[in-house]
Amino acid sequence: MKQKFIIQLNKDKKELLLEEYSQLERESYSLVCRESYDIEEVKKLVKQKDINSLIEFIRTDNFFPVYEFIKVIAENVMKYVKSKVEEQEPKELFLDDLDFIKKEIVEEEEKIDDIEDSLLLEDEMDTADIPKKILSINSSKNDDDD
């Protein structure tokens, strides 16, 4: 599912606003959730440079995106707040869970390829010793024949 998230400052109330939209049709998004946070609290967490604390803070019962999304959102909140937030225009993020699924599939395929490569190397190492073993067996037979 495609989603849009908007990060913006409500200057009047000194709040950071996060809005979540879901795509209903090709170019149509519907508001799912809007959460507001005290900007000073957000700034404190950003100064600590602890993304996990920020994620815990911005996740609520109503605003609970999957980890891959919330991580991207938190990273962008950090960038947004580090800049001159009062002068910032709203920041739009477009995220698609299919992109994350595809990424996971590629990572799993790479792991499988690595395992296959290591197994092939082990097989090659085992077969490299075969001629030596055959020679030693043949030479021991020849010694027995004498």
79-100 pLDDT per residue, tens: 999 887 667 789 999 999 888 7
Residue 21 — very low, low, confident or very high, per pLDDT cuts 50/70/90? very high
In the 8-state DSSP scheme, what is residue 49? T
Q: Rg for the chain (alpha carbons), in Å?
A: 29
Give the CA-trace dihedral at 45, 57, 86, 4, to 10 degrees: 130
Q: Which comes out higher in pLDDT, residue 13 or 114?
A: 13
Q: Which residue, among 68, 77, 2, has the nearest Cα to 35 in the 3D structure? A: 77
Compute the average pLDDT of residues 2-24. 93
Q: What is the pLDDT of residue 105?
A: 80
Residue 136 — very low, low, confident or very high, per pLDDT cuts 50/70/90? low
Q: What is the pLDDT of residue 113?
A: 79
Q: How far is CA 91 from CA 102, 135, 145, in A?
A: 25, 72, 86
Give the CA-trace dihedral at 133, 138, 142, 145, to 10 degrees: 110
Residue 103 — very low, low, confident or very high, per pLDDT cuts 50/70/90? confident
Q: Which comes out higher in pLDDT, residue 78 or 25?
A: 78
Mean of the per-residue pLDDT values of the chain: 84
| Percent of the chain scoring above 70 in pLDDT | 82
